[in-house]
């Protein structure tokens, strides 16, 4: 029940609930990955089941696709849909210009492809994700497994010439084995602490042989919906410069549909 949610989950829930207000019947939607995006998928599923909303979803990960189908959303591939009206996703960090670090959940490649194939991107987040400058959250870089140690060494070499505060890197693990993305790639996390020039960093990293993509999402997000533990939300639109604040009513009997 909604009343039983802890403040963090309530913040995620109200942000997701407000974000789906932007969804219109017949839209082709990019469905993000992560704990906050999962709330959004559940909210959409409720609209599909109870309000007859008809949408087509393109998932950014296998687990999002499974959840979307479970709650009744039609899921297709990006190749089938071609282009999207809107993508709603979470973020690990966002700055005042709505630049993002994403990829903590390991889906950064599909997330970036889907987001850039959309007319608009909305990000849902909690206040703790806001930073004055990107870099406190480790920057994920997806690399192919072949020669990954060489790729890692090349990454460390170029970091010397970037304006960053830290330069340590680590291979992401799942237990004792390298974590693998949906595409079978590895992720190297860069512990940079501060990235003074994200545009330069993104460009330089993507030029390294073996690097598939990095987790800097720059000039992609249009709107961010920030949820708070007291049920209030803030909606910032980078395009028109507006900021709206409102309270999301959560009824005692709200069915939060399969929270496990």
Q: How far is CA 158 from CA 31, 33, 64, 206, in A?
A: 33, 30, 34, 11
* pLDDT at 256 > cutoff 60: no
pLDDT digits (tens, 9 = 90+) for 146-172: 999 999 999 999 999 999 999 999 999
Q: What is the reported pLDDT for 134?
A: 98
- The mean pLDDT of 109-121, rounded to a whole number, is 98
In whole angstroms, give the CA distance from residue 65 to residue 191: 30
User: Cα(169)–Cα(154) distance, rounded to whole angstroms?
Assistant: 11
Residue 259's pLDDT is 40
Q: What's the pTM value of the predicted model, to 2 decimals?
A: 0.94
pLDDT tens digits, one per residue of 241-253: 999 999 998 765 5
Catalytic residue among 46, 93, 111, 213: 111
Tell me what pLDDT residue 254 has. 60
Strand residues in the chain grouped as ranges (E):
28-31, 56-59, 74-75, 86-89, 93-94, 100-101, 121-125, 139-143, 168-171, 173-174, 177-178, 186-191, 211-214, 216-217, 223-227, 232-237, 243-247
Residue 260, pLDDT > 60, answer: no
Determine the pLDDT at residue 253.
52
**How confident is the model at residue 250, as a pLDDT?**
79
| Residue 111 annotated as catalytic | yes
Cα–Cα distance, 28 to 57 (Å, whole number): 6
Q: Which position has the token pair 């998928």? A: 41
pLDDT score at 5? 85
Answer whether residue 76 shows pLDDT above 90.
Answer: yes
Which domains does the chain show, CATH number per domain? 2-130+219-247 (3.40.50.1360), 139-213 (3.30.70.260)
Q: Determine the Cα–Cα distance for residues 145 and 137; give it in Å rounded to an integer.
A: 23
Q: What is the mean pLDDT of residues 196-222?
A: 98
Considering only 16-20, 228-232, 256-260, which range has the smallest mean pLDDT? 256-260
- How many Cβ atoms from other residues are within 10 Å of residue 254's Cβ? 15
Q: Please state the length of the chain.
A: 260
Q: pLDDT averaged over the chain?
A: 95
Taking only the tens place, the pLDDT of each residue in 22-64 is 999 999 999 999 999 999 999 999 999 999 999 999 999 999 9
CB contact at 8 A, 97 and 38: no
Residue 1 confidence (pLDDT): 46
Burial grade of 3 (CB within 10 A; 0-12, 13-18, 19 or more): exposed
- DSSP E strands in 76-191: the ranges are 86-89, 93-94, 100-101, 121-125, 139-143, 168-171, 173-174, 177-178, 186-191
């Amino acid at each position: 029940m909604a009343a039983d949610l802890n403040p963090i989950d309530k913040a995620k829930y109200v942000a997701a609930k407000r974000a789906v207000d932007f969804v219109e019947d017949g839209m082709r939607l990019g469905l993000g990955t992560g704990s906050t995006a999962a709330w959004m998928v559940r909210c959409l599923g409720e609209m599909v089941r109870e309000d007859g909303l008809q949408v087509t979803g393109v998932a950014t990960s296998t687990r999002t696709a499974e959840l979307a189908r479970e709650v009744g959303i039609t899921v297709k591939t990006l190749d089938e849909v071609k282009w999207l009206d809107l993508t709603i996703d979470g973020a690990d960090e966002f700055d005042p210009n709505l630049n993002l670090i994403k990829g903590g959940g390991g889906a950064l490649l599909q997330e970036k492809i889907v987001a850039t194939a959309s007319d608009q991107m909305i990000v849902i987040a909690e206040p703790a994700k806001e930073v004055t400058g990107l870099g406190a959250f480790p920057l994920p870089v997806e690399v192919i497994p072949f020669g990954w140690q060489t790729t890692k060494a090349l990454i460390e070499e170029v970091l010397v010439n970037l304006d960053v505060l830290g330069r340590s890197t680590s291979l992401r693990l799942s237990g004792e084995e390298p974590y693998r993305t949906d595409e079978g790639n590895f992720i190297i996390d860069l512990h940079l602490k501060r990235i003074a020039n994200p545009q330069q960093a993104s460009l330089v990293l993507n030029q390294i042989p073996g690097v598939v993509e990095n987790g800097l999402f720059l000039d992609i997000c249009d709107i961010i919906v920030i949820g708070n533990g007291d049920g209030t939300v803030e909606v910032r639109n980078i395009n028109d410069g507006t900021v709206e604040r409102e309270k999301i009513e959560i009824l005692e009997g709200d069915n939060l549909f399969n929270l496990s």
